[in-house]
Amino acid sequence: MTDKPSHFIRDEVVEDLRTGRFTGVVTRFPPEPNGYLHIGHAKAICLDFGLAQEFGGRCHLRFDDTNPTKESQEYVDAIMRDVRWLGFDWGEHLYHASDYFERLYRWAEQLIRAGKAYVDDLTADEIRAYRGTLTEAGQASPHRSRSVEDNLDLFRRMRAGEFEDGTKTLRAKIDMAAPNLNLRDPVMYRIRKTTHQRTGDAWRIYPMYDWAHGQSDSIEGVTHSLCTLEYEDHRPLYDWYLDALGIDHPRQIEFARLNLSHTIMSKRKLLTLVEDGIVSGWDDPRMPTLAGLRRRGYTPESIRDFSERIGIAKSDNLVDVALLEHCLREDLNRRALRRMAVLRPLRLVIENYPEGQIEEVAAINNPEDPSAGTRRVPFGRELWIEQDDFRETPPPKYFRLSPGVEVRLRYAYIVKCTGVERDASGQIMTVRCTYDPASRGGDAKGRKVKGTIHWVSARHAVDAEVRLYETLFSVPKPDEADDVRTVLSPSSLEVLTGCKLEPALASAEPEARVQFERVGYFCADWRDHAPGRRLVFNRTVGLRDTWAKIERSGR
């Protein structure tokens, strides 16, 4: 057992092992294959798999595939890929709720025989109306008193496909006056004449999640069933089912789900963004999905670090997305190689540099990692610099290039602006400078040179497309909007073409993560980037760390 920051669930697990309530730890991560996993799921994955690892147990991956109308193999494959990418593996313990369909069906018949379940003809709307409210008891269905024989016959005919969707359900017979509405004769099975992605057309009825959940945990020998807070009110129902069947109880413990600023976590709403073409797909780098975060350049290590830092709590709170970005910057700062890239190029000509001459300057690959060494970067008379690094009329405290001012060219020489060239419309096309040959490496020899800018050799530059991503939503709590489309950020994506990159980036492989010096962290797009043919880089995160400022200010 490792020394990790404790939280209430971990403390409960320690106590359960100490008292002998359980002799080991078995957890499970039970996603529904109706969408891609997102950053909120990452918190649960790290908790489920992390606790099992810490206590020498195991964590199952179990697909809650009980609703074939919304599920697909694409989602199954994506979920397995994302869990593995995050750094976890279930080994031989891959399960599906559909593995247990026959056993769940037999248990349903057992409850019918015990007089604890019945077939109902009420529609979904009628069931809701009969359920009552928090202050008023529910009303019993007129079909609640059917005989055991009739219920068994109808339930078997439901399975055989004799009835149409929505015409009958199987309900537990509990208490229509229960204070907990989940105990007011909940639906256990509904008719769905839909092909299942695993079982095909073998079934015409499918179990509700609340019926399959606890029994699936029990079948697999799960000791600690960790759920988010919305399932706390469902726990008495799970216990009722397990008690009625007389089977083993896992222990369910609830925790607060992740709420992240400028983000939505509803898979239904995320699916709408995909289907409406607001984003390019589930792996759009603006999406909070693990696939989207991976494509944007997030590392699994940074997401695991974030999940540990936010902790496990019993009450909901909103986590600033700046913390997630802070964890990412800390990780990328250690691992990302530095490269020079000019996103909005402006030509610079060094008038007194010999025409045709090319030399190489030494550039540091990563100042945080001495083992990364250095690289050789070509330098010549004509360079590309950023448009923002030159101002003909500089504002106050502008320490970059302007007429008569000296700056360092990173790793190379000190240059001084002597003039500009304009096109027919008067727009500046070229900045002209002279250089000090004795200043190689940036040696100012006692002169006060305040500014340093990056550059790329015009002769050796490689062209690239760079996609600048920001948060998809313009407000911290987009879920509070009646329609999330009204709070989309107009600046969530800017695509730049004709960017100039140093030649070392021509061979970057998809998913290569680099820091463009003075600009930010970027990742070669895993879909569109093709080394040597088409270079496409996604901005992962900028260099400015807002979370560090928030921490220092005590907010």
Span 491-527, pLDDT tens digits: 999 999 999 999 999 999 999 999 999 999 999 999 9
For residue 546, the model assigns a pLDDT of: 75
End-to-end distance of the chain based on CA atoms, in angstroms?
A: 34
Query: Is residue 555's pLDDT more than 80?
Result: no
Active site residue 257: yes
From the list 70, 157, 257, 375, the catalytic residue is 257
The string of pLDDT tens digits covering residues 132-185 is: 999 999 999 999 999 999 999 999 999 999 999 999 999 999 999 999 999 999
Eight-class DSSP state of 389? G
Active site residue 116: no
Q: Report phi then psi at 123, rounded to 5.
A: -75, 170
For residue 551, the model assigns a pLDDT of: 62
Residue 544: CB atoms within 10 Å: 10
pLDDT band per the 50, 70, 90 thresholds, residue 553 = low
Contact present, 467 and 480 (Cβ < 8 Å): no
pLDDT band per the 50, 70, 90 thresholds, residue 447 = confident
Strands 259-260 and 318-319: parallel
For residue 446, the model assigns a pLDDT of: 77
Contact present, 470 and 489 (Cβ < 8 Å): yes
Residues 219/229/35/42 CA torsion (nearest 10 deg): -90
**Which tokens belong to 182?**
């989940």
The string of pLDDT tens digits covering residues 201-259 is: 999 999 999 999 999 999 999 999 999 999 999 999 999 999 999 999 999 999 999 99
Name every residue whose Cβ is closer than 8 Å to that of residue 196 and which is 6 or more positions away in sequence: 65, 68, 71, 98, 202, 203, 206
CA-atom Rg of the chain in angstroms? 31
Sheet holding 414-422, edge to edge: 451-453, 406-409, 414-422, 428-435, 345-350, 382-386, 456-457
Mean pLDDT score across all residues of the chain? 95
Amino acid at 54: E
- Residue 143: enclosing H or E segment and its boundaries? none
Contact present, 505 and 461 (Cβ < 8 Å): no
Mean pLDDT of 524-545: 95
From the list 267, 296, 304, 408, the catalytic residue is 267
What's the burial of 222, exposed, middle or buried (CB within 10 Å: 0-12/13-18/19+)?
Answer: buried
The string of pLDDT tens digits covering residues 349-386 is: 999 999 999 999 999 999 999 999 999 999 999 999 99
Helices 209-220 and 235-245 cross at an angle (nearest 10°) of 60
Q: Report phi then psi at 16, rounded to 5.
A: -60, -40
3-state helix, strand and coil shares in percent for the chain, rounded to the nearest 5? 35, 25, 40
Query: Is residue 58's pLDDT more than 50?
Result: yes
Q: Return d(Cα 334, Cα 102) in angstroms, integer.
A: 52
For residue 1, the model assigns a pLDDT of: 47
DSSP-assigned beta bridge partners for residue 367: none
Name every residue whose Cβ is closer than 8 Å to that of residue 396 and which is 6 or more positions away in sequence: none
Between CA 53 and CA 263, with CA 310 as vertex, the angle to 5 degrees is 115
* Domains (range + CATH), the chain: 8-255 (3.40.50.620), 267-337+464-553 (2.40.240.10), 341-454 (2.40.240.10)
From the list 12, 32, 330, 359, the catalytic residue is 32
Query: Is residue 112's pLDDT more than 80?
Result: yes
Q: What is the 3-state secondary structure of 489-540?
A: CCCCEEEEEEEEECHHHHHCCCCCEEEECCCEEEEECCCCCECCCECEEEEE
Residue 499: CB atoms within 10 Å: 21
Residue with tokens 């990159």: 501
Contact present, 443 and 361 (Cβ < 8 Å): no
Residue 461's closest CA among 496, 515, 502, 491? 502
Query: Is residue 20's pLDDT more than 60?
Result: yes
Query: Is residue 438's pLDDT more than 60?
Result: yes
